[in-house]
Amino acid sequence: MAAIDGLSSLVDLENGTISREVFVNEEIYRQEQEQIFARAWLFIGHESQIPNRGDFFISRMGEESVILTRDRRNKIHVFLNTCRHRGMKVCRYDAGNTQTFSCPYHGWTYDIDGRLVGVPNVQEAYDDRFDRSQWGLIEVPQMENYKGSIWATWDKGAPPFLDYIGDYKVYLDTLFDGYDGREGGAEVLDGVHIWRMPCNWKFPATTFGGDAAHAISHRSTLVAAYGPQGEGDRHGARQDAPQTRYEIGMPDLGHGCHIHMHSKDEPYTPTWQTMPNVEDYFRSAWESRQAKMIGNLYFEVGAATVFPNASWASGIRRTMAVWHPHGPQMTEAWRFYLVDKTTPPEARDALRRYHMRYSGPAGMTEQDDMENWNYASAASKGTIARRYPYNYQMRLGVEPVPDVPLPGFVSPILAEQNQRYRFKRWLEFMESPSWDEIYPKAVTAVGRQNGR
């Protein structure tokens, strides 16, 4: 089918239907690599994963391997993990510390800052005409260290990261700021879950982007009873405490989340009842955060996605999960778990264990997600199945909840408005040849300097 030309007919946001082609078609998948993954800001990792000069960590952008490094002058870089000579993967370790990357194929050697510093027999073999400065590692044209989290894009015309996330920043900050509300200060626990799921990458990205209705698929976790305190509901009593929940979509940016609102005078909800020290730590973090609050609002983000594929949650489940495309029917998931650097050992240990029993491929909650994504993808591939679009009509035409002083479009919980915005942005990326048509409307000073 003519996927490339007919995209807008496949995404019908007025009527709330999206063709299954969007999730299964090979050509659309290839076009996503060009239009989305080669242009959008993608999550790479966290500075805490490369604390020292010479440290590196292998990550991924879309389908490709990249190296996150910290050079001798303390500057952070992101390089494509491929030799400029004949393409060999220059680094095949997951992480470590080094001065150089030496290519095992013909011995070209790159400094950790990406410069090509060694080519065997360079004088004789290249008649002295070889310009090493032109053959360094391929580096992303834009990188951002946002409160310790590292993001990059392959497009030098892309808006600066702060314009790319725009007002969504207030949500994202709950991931990278401390439990007690201090700015930044997070670190990633060692051990990144990496696994393959036979589904299109948009299934997990969209579910996390604020599909609160899918909570029903986790019904069995009520019986498993492995909440933070080691028993009870998977969220503990927290979720039952009186609070307001909303779904948020960013109409022009495509990011989304669902949140639990708390008010300034709301008391701490006991969470880690069987671990008094951990409970004390989180209670005091809650109190300091409330003392710092400007205005009357605080929220935890239950699930969220930064367009296109960086999903995350905050509160006690602070994680970042990146859904890398690995073919139209395959996703490689990378899940990072965050805590505060200052979190004392006992609380850190409790969080670490809670993460492991909740999240990732062995997590009691997420196992069921993967079953759904797998067979939803598989059952959408057929010739007949493809003729029938998916339904995104929940609360179609919903009005924003009035008087909620939060950015983005605030819908009541159980709407699919944020998913519709996500696909609106998806379509804009897929159809626009340049950033001119799809540049974020609200622009920072840096964005203005870039000529916008």
- Rounded to 10 degrees, the C-alpha dihedral 445/78/304/261 comes to -60
Q: Residue 105 binds what, of other proteins, Fe ion, ligand FES, none (CB under 5 to 8 Å, by partner type)?
A: ligand FES
Shortest distance in whole angstroms from residue 255 CB to other proteins: 26
Q: What are phi and psi of 105, to 5 degrees?
A: -80, -65
Shortest distance in whole angstroms from residue 119 CB to ligand FES: 8
Instruction: Note whether 86 binds ligand FES by CB under 6 A.
Output: yes
Q: Which of residues 333-372 bind Fe ion (CB under 5 A)?
A: 369
Give the strand order in the sheet containing 149-153.
Answer: 42-46, 149-153, 142-146
Per the DSSP assignment, residues forming a β-bridge with 391 are: 17
Say if CB 284 and CB 180 are below 8 A apart. Answer: yes
Instruction: Note whether 221 binds other proteins by CB under 8 A.
Output: yes
Say if CB 257 and CB 315 are below 8 A apart. Answer: no
Given 15, 123, 145, 220, the residue binding other proteins (CB under 8 A)? 220
Shortest distance in whole angstroms from residue 334 CB to Fe ion: 17
Instruction: Note whether 283 binds other proteins by CB under 8 A.
Output: no
Instruction: Note whether 364 binds other proteins by CB under 8 A.
Output: yes
Q: How far apart are the first and last CA of the chain?
A: 37
Q: Residue 332 binds what, of other proteins, ligand FES, Fe ion, none (CB under 5 to 8 Å, by partner type)?
A: other proteins
Q: Which of residues 45-84 bind ligand FES (CB under 6 A)?
A: 83
Q: How many residues bind Fe ion (CB under 5 A)?
A: 1
Q: Residue 410 binds what, of Fe ion, other proteins, ligand FES, none (CB under 5 to 8 Å, by partner type)?
A: none
Instruction: Note whether 370 binds other proteins by CB under 8 A.
Output: yes
Given 85, 132, 352, 395, the residue binding ligand FES (CB under 6 A)? 85
Instruction: Note whether 385 binds other proteins by CB under 8 A.
Output: no
Shortest distance in whole angstroms from residue 328 CB to Fe ion: 22
Given 4, 170, 356, 376, the residue binding other proteins (CB under 8 A)? 356
Closer by beta carbon to other proteins, 216 or else 294: 216
Instruction: Note whether 92 binds ligand FES by CB under 6 A.
Output: no
Closer by beta carbon to other proteins, 4 or else 356: 356
Shortest distance in whole angstroms from residue 120 CB to ligand FES: 8
One symbol per residue from 106 to 125: x for binding ligand FES (CB under 6 A), - otherwise; what is it? xxx-----------------
Binding footprint of ligand FES on the chain (CB under 6 A)? 83, 85-88, 103, 105-108
Binding footprint of Fe ion on the chain (CB under 5 A)? 369
Binding footprint of other proteins on the chain (CB under 8 A)? 92-96, 189-199, 217, 219-221, 223-226, 230-231, 332, 337, 348, 352-353, 355-357, 360-362, 364, 366-368, 370-372, 374-375
